[in-house]
A and B are shown apart, each in its own frame.
Chain A
Amino acid sequence: MSSGARLTIAVLLVAVTSVGIVAAAAAAFVHYTGTVDIEVHERDGNDISLTIPASIAQAAIACLPGEAMVLDGAEAARWFPLVETVVRRVDRMPDAVLVEVDDGDENVRVEKRNGRLTVHVRSGGDDVRIGVPMQLVRQVAAKLRSVRVAPAV
């Protein structure tokens, strides 16, 4: 085999290996950070199903300029510590159905399972399910800390 051919094979091997490592790392990262799942099934047959890597949402939240986010009045801000505490405690607690409302035609279920917070709403023939990794919920709650509150006008 000529030295040129050996060089070509080596370059190809390095390229394939690199692509494989990057793909494996990306898969592992997505697996580690989880996904945000949104499923909507409407009674008229329309279906929407979205699976977004939570890492993308995390990156988006991290990029939000918290100090530039201004809320009017202190009313909302005084609940931020409560929200943060609730999120922290839900994150620490074992898997459970937190709330379930069943009204015959309508059913709402909020559940923590396998490190995810799931909200499932069924109303008539409509069915909506949203699943979010707790890690992402924590990040949103932490972001609230940096929100600047403007005095009420």
Chain B
Amino acid sequence: MARKTTIGLLLLLATTPVLAAGDDLWLHVRVEERKGDRPATVKVNVPVSMVAEILPHIDAEGMQGGKIRIRWDREGMTTDAADLRAILAAVKKSKDGEFVTVEEAGETVRVAKRGDYLLVEVAEDGEDGSQVDVKLPLRAADALFAAEGETLDLVAALRILADRPEGELVTVRDGDESIRIWIDSNPSAN
């Protein structure tokens, strides 16, 4: 779950600054969780341009100057930006709508291009397994992975995707918890 969420958030980080060109666009995050009988909700609404301006100021482990370093180590396997670039290259060579499937222990990652978008689906095995769906403009993905090494170039994605239309970016469903991230022009969208 943590890895899927990380993938989603990485892609979100890559896409949100991109929309900074339009001051009217807002990034919305909704997290819903059921704790027993009580539902818990977290709602965040921020202008995308604000996110874009803030990102370069964040100097934390794994993130500097608007670039993010990615590397997952899990069960003796390592996944980094190079692997993701290889997947992206394979998807670009494939037919529209044809999924490239990566099966790992306990989960399946499916990636495809559809029109101008890159679709990523991560599904954990089992009926209760979590599901992550990501929809990212293809040119943004190219720009994102244009950086060398283990980093993703958020600034490049920003330049390319400045005119991306509104829409869903990430949805995560994991049992009683769900996360939805999208962009539109409404400051208080629900």
Q: How many A-B residue pairs have CB under 8 A?
A: 55
Q: Tell me the count of chain B residues lying within 8 A, CB to CB, of chain A.
A: 21
Closest residue to B33 on the A side, CB-wise?
A103
Q: Tell me the count of chain A residues lying within 8 A, CB to CB, of chain B.
A: 20
- Which residues of the partner chain A approach B77 to less than 8 Å between Cβ atoms? none
Tell me whether A99 and B188 are in contact in the complex, defined as CB-CB below 8 angstroms, given that A85-B57, A89-B50 are known contacts. no
Closest residue to A88 on the B side, CB-wise?
B53
Could you mark each residue 41-85 of chain A with 1 if its beta carbon is under 8 Å from any beta carbon of chain B, else 0? 000000000000000000000000000000000000010011001
A23 to B84, CA, bound (A): 68
Do the beta carbons of A97 and B188 come within 8 Å of each other? yes
Could you mark each residue 20-50 of chain A with 1 if its beta carbon is under 8 Å from any beta carbon of chain B, else 0? 0000000000000000000000000000000
* A124: Cβ under 8 A from any B Cβ: no
Tell me whether A89 and B53 are in contact in the complex, defined as CB-CB below 8 angstroms, given that A95-B187, A97-B188 are known contacts. yes
Do the beta carbons of B187 and A96 come within 8 Å of each other? yes
Do the beta carbons of A100 and B59 come within 8 Å of each other? no
Tell me whether A104 and B38 are in contact in the complex, defined as CB-CB below 8 angstroms, given that A82-B54, A85-B54, A97-B188 are known contacts. yes
- Which residues of the partner chain A approach B147 to less than 8 Å between Cβ atoms? none
B4 to chain A, nearest CB (A): 23
A138 to B46, CA, bound (A): 18
- Which residues of the partner chain A approach B59 to less than 8 Å between Cβ atoms? 78
A104 to B45, CA, bound (A): 20
Do the beta carbons of A82 and B187 come within 8 Å of each other? no
Tell me whether A98 and B58 are in contact in the complex, defined as CB-CB below 8 angstroms, given that A85-B53, A93-B50 are known contacts. no
Closest residue to B29 on the A side, CB-wise?
A99
Do the beta carbons of A97 and B53 come within 8 Å of each other? no
Do the beta carbons of B42 and A101 come within 8 Å of each other? yes
Q: Dominant SS at the A interface?
A: mixed
A96 to B49, CA, bound (A): 15
Tell me whether A104 and B39 are in contact in the complex, defined as CB-CB below 8 angstroms, given that A85-B53, A85-B57, A95-B187 are known contacts. yes
Interface centre among B35, B39, B44 (most CB of A within 10 A): B44
Do the beta carbons of A81 and B42 come within 8 Å of each other? no
In-complex Cβ contact of A100 among B35, B39, B42 (8 A): B42
- Which residues of the partner chain B approach A19 to less than 8 Å between Cβ atoms? none
Do the beta carbons of B38 and A103 come within 8 Å of each other? yes
- Which residues of the partner chain A approach B42 to less than 8 Å between Cβ atoms? 99-102
* A125: Cβ under 8 A from any B Cβ: no
Tell me whether A82 and B58 are in contact in the complex, defined as CB-CB below 8 angstroms, given that A89-B53, A100-B42, A104-B38 are known contacts. yes
- Which residues of the partner chain A approach B41 to less than 8 Å between Cβ atoms? 100-103
Tell me whether A98 and B45 are in contact in the complex, defined as CB-CB below 8 angstroms, given that A104-B38, A104-B39 are known contacts. yes
Tell me whether A99 and B53 are in contact in the complex, defined as CB-CB below 8 angstroms, given that A94-B187, A104-B38 are known contacts. no
4 more contacts with CB within 8 A, not counting A101-B43, A102-B40, are: A93-B50, A96-B45, A97-B45, A100-B41
* A interface residues with partner B (beta carbon < 8 Å): 78, 81-82, 85-86, 89-90, 93-105
Q: Report 21 cross-chain contacts, Cβ distance below 8 Å, ordered by A residue.
A: A78-B59, A82-B57, A82-B58, A89-B49, A90-B50, A93-B50, A94-B187, A96-B45, A96-B187, A96-B188, A98-B44, A98-B45, A98-B46, A99-B42, A99-B43, A99-B44, A100-B42, A101-B41, A101-B43, A102-B39, A103-B35
